[in-house]
Structure 1
Amino acid sequence: MSELKLSDNERAKRESNFLRGTIEQDLQDDLTGGFTGDNYHLIRVHGMYQQDDRDIRNERTAQKLEPLHNVMLRARLPGGIIKPEQWLVVDKFAEESSIYGSIRLTTRQTFQYHGVLKRDIKHMHQTLNSTGIDSIATAGDVNRNVLCTSNPVESHLHQEAYEWAKQISEHLLPKTRAYLEIWLDGERLNTPEEEPILGATYLPRKFKTTVVVPPHNDVDLHANDLNFVAIAENGKLVGFNVLVGGGLAMTHGDTATYPRKATEFGFIPLSHTIAIAEAVVTTQRDMGNRVDRKNAKTKYTLERVGVEVFKAEVEKRAGIEFGAIRPYKFTSRGDRFGWVEGIDGKQHLTLFIENGRILDYPGKPLKTGLREIAKIHQGDFRITANQNLIIAGVPTEQKAQIEQLAREHGLIEDSVSEQRKSSMACVALPTCPLAMAESERVLPEYVTELEGYLAKHNITDDNIIFRVTGCPNGCGRAMLAEVGLVGKAPGRYNLHLGGNREGTRIPRMYKENITDRQIMEELDTLIGRWSAERNSGEGFGDFVIRAGIIAPVIDSARDFYAAV
């Protein structure tokens, strides 16, 4: 690829002095609340996105004010585990220094702050660092927060898987001292720097990794570039099946972009885990498309160079060969709400947090409730990839006290339907600059309508995996839902149908660019048919395919856009 043809992001990374840019100088500029030039993009590798409140943008423009620039920070929490003492620090900063005062649990199994002004950014990083948390490489062209199945039942197996998630995360982090120097006032060393894994210009595009413990696919492995599927024998982890090349983002109107499931490469023993992780990343680093960012993800590299070519290069770099895939099966991907007892005898409480938004609402002081629980909890908190929270490792004698606090603060509501628990949305408006339509703010209303249709058609004992995203970038994982809405414009979405409950099939577009009212009318009719015509135990996604309402996506690189 000619140097002249590289995307401008490649130039910015090359000239950034290992991700430093002129971020420090920007921090001193009080004439604007934002970051300028390349720094707008460089802060992403430091875990932040520049945003503004789009609800008041026009009002501020009329007042001849710039947009209310602020940053969203995404923390690095491999496996989503955070200690109660850390949570109290996170909670305090949100309360005192965020415009919105909330903590947002994400589909990447971590938390986000929204609405942090420039004057508070350095304090934010130093506050998190004081409790052992950072935001290194949670965005940008690097390996991002490593997910791990939240499994509070098989405690020993989960602990092994979690330790591997942490090791992978640490091994693949950027080696530059930029984060330490800029945000934590670290010493500047007069020694040459290098990035032996990520390279001087880092990866061609974002890279996502998971560690998955079957039979629960709660991390939606097919949304990720690299996946380690845990294989256990007699309750002991012995190795991983490796799957590569998943991803859900696409671009409206560009048929060269599409969601793609991950491809099975083979089995490896535990001793080869880090070597394979590094080999996959460096292969994508060197083979990935640095000219067209829309085709720069690992999924497109596999399609362009061929799966076998990519796999052989990984084997060569790691110095091993993949074994045959070991048997595994996914039966579910939702969180298990309420109390469960682990094999270690500890109690674990999974709380449903609608949209992952932790805030004190009228009559539901969720944020205060979690603060009070954190003050007495002796175990840990686990953020799930479905935007919920597990209070894990509760001694039996403390169970009643924890439950009482949760109920008093609206963290447990017995009336929450299975449909609501099976629905998810990205943040979208007003803070996400990419959002074309509402998502988080309309999800509760849409779910209420779906609940009404299920009741109308006498099927309240069932539910649909329902997801809404404000744009086609995939944050809400609508492209692995039974019903997925992808934002096109205010109040308008593409309606996708035909995913399955296990998260192993991509849905196909059923109707394009239709209003939310049209969508609900379609779903009312389809749910009626599902109720009347379904086989025993047949999920909605499986039904619409069997009934010929939509054709299944077999090979998304070739038939996702096919007129069938």
Structure 2
Amino acid sequence: MAKLPDPIEWKPSPVEHIKIKSDFLRGTIKESLADETTGSISKDDTQLIKFHGSYQQTDRDLDAERKKQKLEPLFSFMIRARVAAGIATADQWLVFDRLAVQYGNGTMKLTTRQTFQWHGILKRNLKKTMQGINSTLVDTIAACGDVNRNVMGTSNEALSPLVPEVAAFAKKISDHLLPKTTAYHEIWLDKKLITEGQTDDEPLYGKTYLPRKFKIALAVPPYNDTDIFANDIGLIAIGEGKELKGFNVAIGGGMGMTFGNEETYPRLADIIGYVPKEDALKVIEEIVKVQRDYGNRENRKLSRLKYTVDRLGTEVFKQLVEERSGITLQPAIEYEFKQNGDVFGWMKAENNKWYLGLFVEHGRVKDVGDYKLKSALRDLARIKVCDFRLTGNQGLVLGRIDEPDKAAVEKILKKYNVYHLDKLSGLRKHAIACVALNTCTLAFAEAERYLPKLNTKIEAILKEVDLTNEDILIRMTGCPNGCGRPFLGEIGLVGRSLGKYNLYLGAGFSGERLNTLYKEMLDEQAILAELSEIIPKYAEERNKGERFGDFVVRKGIVKSGQTIKTI
């Protein structure tokens, strides 16, 4: 075996300097919170507060008018929780719901990373909201920032008897990779250092943490409902009967790119082998450490693990992990994924508990007209007959329901006009949209507020050719950073400017093939015109059981995008 490469000494980027001088993520956050002359925090603190689970944002709908009135932007904050595998109790749900009303914009967002977000928190209420979240034994540390973020895992126990152990392992990973700094507790929970002069130590991360964000997801075949190949580390659960034996390990996935910069690209993870479950945590830790030591700290656009893997080579990266961990990865074990969307409706698990998969349009928990989702879920939490399990597709599963309680659940859902899956098209059920405008600072275009309207118009095309019930994956984001995993949509729409989108086609239905750019800078009329040509062809010329993404590749409408590989 050839000599393995040494880590590179990078010229630190401005964000690296902020981390270096932050005193383990403290910065001047306390002082920024105390400054009543502005609704914002200092520039450096906007980077550091991400590690604490929050982003500073503005209401971009109002920016121009406020500027005209010589007012500063209407600053507010988004808070994101850390909830491994997305499982919350009824009591936690009630507190989260109350905080959304008391301090936020009245809604909760269920995210594509299987956790909760609160939007519209004013600076003066930021600390109180953080403390409210922590009162439920849930925190927000490491939900954002250059660290391992919320660990995803299949949460619906009716899908496989392996799910409980997989979800528990997701939490174990999350706890193991958690930053050790006490800054979070000091700033938000008013906890003091144990001894005067005590210093922090980050044995895993060091003073500069990781070069960029890091994402881990677990899935249980045949359901790739967490899109593991879009993650820095993807873990495919391998079982024998009801027993979890270990994981196939995939590395180097990531969705983000930058328009006009060919050095950036979406990428699916490579499978580098199999590891027994007792060795998995050590292998995961060493993958993180290799990224810590070899990742690009000079150019943040090239700092994700996928670029480190491509720069070093997958084989060399694997050798580094094996040498450091002392664990030799075994050949990957055969598996099969059939889909990466959610499963809806009632399902019974082997523990005789019932699970109900619910549709939550783009993850926004709110009441709209007669459709009172937020009220229904609040009432369900109050009677404490279920827990609440978020999915990686912005959906929700009501879990661990006893047979006698099913009727009570149905009654509440019907009272608020929620349980109507039979009225949803296959397109709408699986649609994903990021927050985008009006609060995301990176968005060029609408997504969450617009995709429901666009879907209605696409549904009219589908109805014409009797494809209303056909499951098709459509995903929309307001920018190319990929929060809604648009490059894994059979139809992907990525915002370029207000009202204009790049149209991507041809992803695989199970999340194992990227889509391909079809046409650029399309407005709504152009998007509908293109789909009005392609969808009828799909209806007439598809093979039996052929998915939309497979069809457009087979017919040469687009070339095949990247597919996963096993080394």
Return the offset for 1:184. Answer: 0.4
1:56 to 62, 86, 91: 62
**Residues 251 and 472, structure 1, Cα contact 8 Å, conserved in 2:** yes
1:164 to 166, 169, 172: 169
Note if 1:40 corresponds to 2:46: yes
| Unaligned runs of at least 5 residues, structure 2 | 1-6
Q: Distance in 2 between matches of 1:411 and 1:50?
A: 33
Instruction: Report matched runs for 1:42-441 at 5 Å.
Output: 42-98=48-104, 100-154=105-159, 156-189=161-194, 190-413=197-420, 414-441=422-449
Deviates more, 1:19-28 or 1:268-277: 268-277
Structure 1's 256 and 555: CA in aligned 2 closer, same or farther, altered over 3 A?
Answer: farther
What is the SS of the residue equivalent to 1:197? coil
- What are the Cα deviations for residues 334-369 of structure 1, in whole angstroms up to 9, with x where unaligned? 211111111111111111010111112221221111
**Residues 229 and 242, structure 1, Cα contact 8 Å, conserved in 2:** yes
Q: Please name the residue that 1:560 is paired with.
A: none
Q: Distance in 2 between matches of 1:550 and 1:79?
A: 35
What is the SS of the residue equivalent to 2:273? strand
Deviates more, 1:60-69 or 1:407-416: 407-416
Note if 1:531 corresponds to 2:539: yes
Matched residue type, 1:145: N
Return the offset for 1:192. Answer: 2.7
What is the SS of the residue equivalent to 2:120? strand
Q: Please name the residue that 1:518 is paired with.
A: 526
TM-score, with normalisation over the residues of structure 1?
A: 0.97
Q: Distance in 2 between matches of 1:453 and 1:29?
A: 54
Matched residue type, 1:139: C
Structure 1's 556 and 371: CA in aligned 2 closer, same or farther, altered over 3 A?
Answer: closer
Q: Please name the residue that 1:493 is paired with.
A: 501
Q: Distance in 2 between matches of 1:460 and 1:379?
A: 32
**Residues 224 and 246, structure 1, Cα contact 8 Å, conserved in 2:** yes
Return the offset for 1:2. Answer: 8.8
Q: Distance in 1 between matches of 2:95 and 2:129?
A: 10
1:450 to 440, 452, 458: 458
Matched residue type, 1:54: R
Return the offset for 1:554. Answer: 3.7
Q: Distance in 1 between matches of 2:85 and 2:379?
A: 23
**Residues 425 and 439, structure 1, Cα contact 8 Å, conserved in 2:** yes
**Residues 436 and 478, structure 2, Cα contact 8 Å, conserved in 1:** yes
Return the offset for 1:542. Answer: 0.5
Return the offset for 1:37. Answer: 2.3
Return the offset for 1:265. Answer: 1.0
What is the SS of the residue equivalent to 2:392? coil
Q: Distance in 1 between matches of 2:252 and 2:70?
A: 46
Return the offset for 1:3. Answer: 7.3
**Residues 48 and 74, structure 1, Cα contact 8 Å, conserved in 2:** yes
**Residues 353 and 411, structure 1, Cα contact 8 Å, conserved in 2:** no
Return the offset for 1:378. Answer: 3.1
Q: Distance in 2 between matches of 1:34 and 1:355?
A: 28
**Residues 155 and 344, structure 1, Cα contact 8 Å, conserved in 2:** no
Structure 1's 228 and 463: CA in aligned 2 closer, same or farther, altered over 3 A?
Answer: closer
2:29 to 23, 29, 46: 23
1:548 to 547, 550, 556: 556
- What are the Cα deviations for residues 15-52 of structure 1, in whole angstroms up to 9, with x where unaligned? 10000000000011011101112101100000000001
Q: Please name the residue that 1:467 is paired with.
A: 475
Q: Distance in 1 between matches of 2:458 and 2:204?
A: 47
Q: Please name the residue that 2:11 is paired with.
A: 5
Structure 1's 219 and 260: CA in aligned 2 closer, same or farther, altered over 3 A?
Answer: same
**Residues 238 and 270, structure 1, Cα contact 8 Å, conserved in 2:** yes
Matched residue type, 1:24: K
Deviates more, 1:540-549 or 1:409-418: 409-418
Percentage identity across aligned positions? 47
Q: Distance in 2 between matches of 1:55 and 1:40?
A: 21
What is the SS of the residue equivalent to 1:43? helix
Return the offset for 1:418. Answer: 1.8
**Residues 87 and 155, structure 2, Cα contact 8 Å, conserved in 1:** no
**Residues 443 and 468, structure 1, Cα contact 8 Å, conserved in 2:** yes
Aligned length: 556
What is the SS of the residue equivalent to 1:468? strand
Matched residue type, 2:214: F
**Residues 260 and 556, structure 1, Cα contact 8 Å, conserved in 2:** no
Return the offset for 1:516. Answer: 2.1
TM-score, with normalisation over the residues of structure 2?
A: 0.96
Return the offset for 1:404. Answer: 1.0
Return the offset for 1:254. Answer: 0.5
* Structure 1 residue runs of 4 or more that deviate by more than 6 Å after TM superposition: 1-4
Structure 1's 260 and 351: CA in aligned 2 closer, same or farther, altered over 3 A?
Answer: same
- What are the Cα deviations for residues 37-92 of structure 1, in whole angstroms up to 9, with x where unaligned? 21011000000000011111111112211111010001000000000001101111
**Residues 79 and 150, structure 1, Cα contact 8 Å, conserved in 2:** yes
| Unaligned runs of at least 5 residues, structure 1 | 558-564
**Residues 488 and 514, structure 2, Cα contact 8 Å, conserved in 1:** yes
Matched residue type, 1:431: T
Q: Distance in 2 between matches of 1:198 and 1:516?
A: 45
Matched residue type, 1:520: L
Return the offset for 1:514. Answer: 1.8
Return the offset for 1:155. Answer: 5.8
What is the SS of the residue equivalent to 1:44? helix
- What are the Cα deviations for residues 83-125 of structure 1, in whole angstroms up to 9, with x where unaligned? 0001101111111111x21011100001100000001111011
Q: Distance in 2 between matches of 1:241 and 1:172?
A: 20
Q: Please name the residue that 1:562 is paired with.
A: none
Q: Distance in 2 between matches of 1:555 and 1:356?
A: 28
What is the SS of the residue equivalent to 1:429? coil
Q: Distance in 1 between matches of 2:47 and 2:39?
A: 15
Return the offset for 1:454. Answer: 0.8
Matched residue type, 1:102: T
**Residues 488 and 515, structure 2, Cα contact 8 Å, conserved in 1:** yes
Q: Distance in 1 between matches of 2:536 and 2:13?
A: 49
RMSD, aligned CA: 1.4
Q: Distance in 2 between matches of 1:394 and 1:191?
A: 47
Return the offset for 1:391. Answer: 0.7
